[in-house]
Amino acid sequence: MKTEQAENYRGHIIALLTAEKLPVADLPHSLENFVVSTQNGNLTGVAGLEIYGDYGLLRSLAVDKAFRNRGIADDLLKQAEALAASKNIKAIYLLTETAPAYFARKGYEAITRAGVPAAIQQSSEFSHVCPQSAIVMQKLVNKQ
């Protein structure tokens, strides 16, 4: 597994996210805060971090079905968290309908929507892309 620039894989990222029924219409123009995993030049997984001031929104964590159960999601999540830490992000937030148990094992806690910073609440992902039924989770990154 190799990490490369996400920009080089935009089309493949969109295809993977679409296949996994994750939103693509609101993907940022620049994927500078996205990490990808590849094997032999093929995209195997992706994770994105949208930055809103002191907070990050984890989105688009997906692994191609043919490459699951190999630790790729764990590696991508660690890379996204390291990126957040390097940018002095205080906490990472995410919305999930399918993987709350996975994220709980990785140190994320379920919280109410009211507990999310206003900047994150105003993101397209939070405000209208993900359904109200999605579980909101948080992980502190740089504890101050």
Q: Which DSSP letter does residue 85 get?
A: H
- Residue 1: the pLDDT is 45
Q: What tens digit of pLDDT does each residue of 56-110 get?
A: 999 999 999 999 999 999 999 999 999 999 999 999 999 998 899 999 999 999 9
> Is this structure's pTM higher than 0.85?
yes
Q: In angstroms, rounded to a whole number, what is the distance separating the alpha carbons of residues 7 and 117?
A: 28
Cβ contacts of 48 within 8 Å, gap of 6 or more:
6, 27, 28, 31, 33, 34, 35, 58, 59, 60, 61, 80
Cα 25 to Cα 97: distance, rounded to the nearest angstrom: 18
d(C-alpha 97, C-alpha 78), whole Å: 21
Please provide the average confidence, as pLDDT, over all residues in the chain. 90
CATH topology of domain 2-140: Aminopeptidase (3.40.630)
